[in-house]
Chain A
Amino acid sequence: MKFLKYILTGIAFGIIMAKSEAISWFRIQEMFRFHSFHMFGIIGTAVILGIIAVLLMKKFRLNDFHGEPIIFTDKNSGWRKYLFGGIIFGLGWALTGACPGPIFVSIGYGYLGMVLVAIGAVLGTYIYGVIKDKLPH
């Protein structure tokens, strides 16, 4: 059960992402061309629900199911890494139509080309780790 709940949450995530077509390369293209509200609707709904959920959790100081308080860590300050990293991510996102989550959902869906994207993503992460200290943050 300790492990199962994460796998089940992952399965739910995978099904939601696939069925909402958020893993679709075409949908990402449509989004970047501003031809449809589809993706903006999905992300927008998630954010609005998320904001409400986070506010409620903070207001009522909810505990997680271990009984520990739920902690929201603030992101580190600075802007360079967010902007530069974000732009590089965006280039890859539009090209492959996938952010890290959907890459793996797509592999399960049967798009084996995504395995290459996944290998690239792991390698890209590795390269970041190697040259991290030489980058502006």
Chain B
Amino acid sequence: MIMVVLLYFGKSFGFSSNLRTICSMAGAGRRVKFFDFEWRKQQWNLLFLIGAIIGGYLSNTILATDEPMKLSAATIKDLQSLGIVFSGALNPEQLFGLQSFTSFKVICLLFVGGMMVGFGSRYAGGCTSGHAISGLSNLQIPSLIAVTGFFIGGLIMTHFLFHFIFSS
């Protein structure tokens, strides 16, 4: 639905382009050619990003509900064995709450994870919105390859690397 609205505005839906835009705005274009493009044309996408932040804020304030999330029992159990507590909230406090800034390990995890997201989405030319939604909607084979890649990476992380990362 969001994709259709943006197409109607004459834009294409792809969130990770914003990361490139931010680099360019910070002046990276002077040193690296990849960032030397007219980022002002991407301003609409940054506005979309600001809207997304506001949307998140509204969801947890005026639109907030007390109802806990219904996560499947199997996932709760698996994560418990990795030491991650499910409290009914969307995200684990221990990773994303304010306390995350007090653990060196968590800071590194979030930072490195973010780097992989940023690097990977630009390398693949898109993220979940650009490939899985916009790309697959337009029946693009490259997007199917990218989405397959997303899952290969995700499954390796979840079923293999998590045991090393979270077993303390």
Contacts and interface: CB of A to CB of B under 8 A. Distances in A.
Q: Please say whether chains A and B are actual partners in one complex.
A: yes
Interface string B96-107: 111011000011
Interface residues of A, number: 102
Given A13-B55, A96-B114, A126-B23, 14 more contacts: A7-B48, A51-B139, A90-B152, A91-B154, A92-B114, A94-B155, A99-B16, A99-B129, A111-B91, A117-B117, A124-B116, A124-B117, A125-B23, A126-B28
Contacts of B124: 81-82, 84-86, 88-89
B interface residue count range (under 10 / 10 to 19 / 20 to 34 / 35 or more) = 35 or more
Interface in A58-95: 64-66, 68, 70, 72-79, 81-95
Contact of B90 (A21, A96, A117, A130): A21
20 contacts: A6-B44, A10-B50, A13-B55, A17-B55, A25-B90, A26-B69, A26-B71, A26-B92, A43-B128, A46-B132, A51-B136, A54-B139, A64-B10, A82-B125, A93-B128, A95-B109, A109-B57, A121-B16, A124-B122, A125-B19
Interface of A: 3, 5-19, 21, 23-33, 35-36, 43, 46-47, 49-51, 53-54, 57, 64-66, 68, 70, 72-79, 81-101, 103-114, 116-130, 132, 135
Contacts, number: 454
